[in-house]
């Protein structure tokens, strides 16, 4: 038996799989029905224990082609049931073997419906995957008094710049916890990419002579990215810019808006988002626990382009003076519907238009 112990003293018993080490982190849930490998390897989950609401995961195994990162920072995995006999022509290993190889603990057999209801009512909580429930009260007290993980982006961002060769447009990708699928979308558009650490200055980015700059997704509190905000304020004046997820929040902060921590966040790929200009609704892939505060947006600098249908949170922003925009959701759609993948094409068009004006 293994146990999930929450900071309010709740205990959920189950069967361990994957790594047998103990772990703790913020307990969050995803509403995605598939895509468990992409979720587990998404660095936006770094430091978190992820609860899958779908009752069965692992049924199609694991394949190298679906990794979002090779060394994921996720703290643990919770599910109701792991498939006993996974089967898929692409699979190379099973989910339990995959978690064991990456030293990621998991628990199955938990009543995930009850757990998710608690998180929706009371908000995300810190939790610990433990071998025994005997010290549950002491563990819960320690969880409530422990400081939240800080500088989590520092743990998942690249420490050195590296290229992803292409031949058309030169794109600098600022890595806050980059998903491989973002690079895949840029590669499909034959972009020549240079991925740089999140601490890279505006001067160093501009010295690479980019045609565009992309701010990636990533974990943690965007308020810790104030140095990156300084970089954005300089870059957006000179180079077309696109922000995704954490990049969206950093873009907002750089232009005077504020962010706040959500009660339980958006995680999954069935989140409806309305584009204000067209009133079209697209279903999106999302993974974030912070959002941009609507009443903090300066309407003279930023225009709201997208909102979440269910709760009205800000999902997209466009700069009114510079060729720069951002979205809270993941247009790379891995996993998830491809409703908004065209935003990468919009970014390419923005870059080409700026290049044509410069060369005119």
Active site residues: 245, 330, 332
Q: DSSP letter for 222, please.
A: G
Q: DSSP letter for 236, please.
A: T
User: How far apart (Å, rounded) are the C-alpha atoms in residues 185 and 173?
Assistant: 12
Q: Euclidean distance between the first and final Cα of the chain, in Å?
A: 69
User: How far apart (Å, rounded) are the C-alpha atoms in residues 325 and 247?
Assistant: 10
Burial label for 136, CB within 10 Å (0-12, 13-18, 19+), is middle
The alpha carbon dihedral of 348, 349, 350, 351 has a sign of positive
157 vs 123, 189, 198, CA distance in Å?
A: 27, 24, 7
Alpha-carbon Rg for the chain, nearest whole angstrom, is 20
User: How far apart (Å, rounded) are the C-alpha atoms in residues 356 and 323?
Assistant: 14
Helix (H, G, I), strand (E, B) or coil at 196: strand
């Amino acid at each position: 038996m293994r146990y999930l112990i929450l900071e309010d003293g709740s205990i959920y018993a189950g069967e361990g799989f994957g790594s047998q080490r103990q772990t703790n982190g913020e307990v969050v849930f995803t509403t995605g029905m598939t895509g468990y490998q992409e979720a587990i390897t998404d660095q936006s989950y770094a430091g978190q224990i992820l609860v899958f609401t779908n009752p069965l995961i692992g049924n199609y195994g694991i394949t190298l082609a679906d990794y979002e990162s090779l060394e994921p920072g996720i703290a643990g995995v919770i599910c109701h049931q792991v498939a006993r006999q996974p089967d898929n022509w692409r699979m190379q290993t099973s989910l339990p073997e995959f978690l064991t190889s990456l030293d990621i603990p998991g628990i199955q057999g938990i009543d995930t419906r009850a757990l998710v209801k608690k998180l929706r009512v009371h908000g995300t909580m810190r939790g610990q995957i433990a071998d025994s429930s005997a010290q549950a009260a002491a563990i819960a007290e320690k969880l409530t008094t422990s400081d939240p993980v800080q500088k989590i982006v520092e743990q998942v961002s690249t420490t050195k710049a590296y290229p992803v060769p292409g031949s058309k447009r030169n794109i600098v990708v600022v890595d806050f916890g980059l998903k491989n699928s973002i690079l895949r979308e840029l590669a499909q558009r034959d972009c020549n990419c240079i991925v740089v650490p999140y601490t890279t200055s505006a001067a160093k980015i501009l010295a690479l002579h980019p045609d565009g700059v992309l701010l990636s997704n990533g974990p943690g509190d965007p308020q810790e990215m104030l140095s990156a905000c300084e970089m954005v304020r300089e870059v957006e004046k000179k180079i077309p810019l696109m922000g995704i997820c954490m990049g969206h929040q950093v873009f907002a902060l750089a232009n005077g808006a504020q962010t706040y921590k959500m009660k339980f966040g958006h995680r999954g790929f069935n989140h409806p988002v309305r584009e204000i200009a067209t009133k079209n609704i697209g279903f999106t892939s999302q993974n974030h626990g912070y959002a941009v505060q609507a009443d903090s947006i300066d309407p003279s600098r930023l225009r709201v382009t997208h909102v979440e249908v269910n709760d009205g949170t800000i999902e997209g922003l466009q700069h009114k003076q510079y060729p720069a925009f951002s979205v809270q959701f993941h247009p790379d759609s891995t996993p998830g519907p491809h409703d908004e993948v065209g935003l990468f094409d919009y970014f390419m068009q923005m870059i080409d238009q700026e290049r044509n004006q410069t060369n005119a």
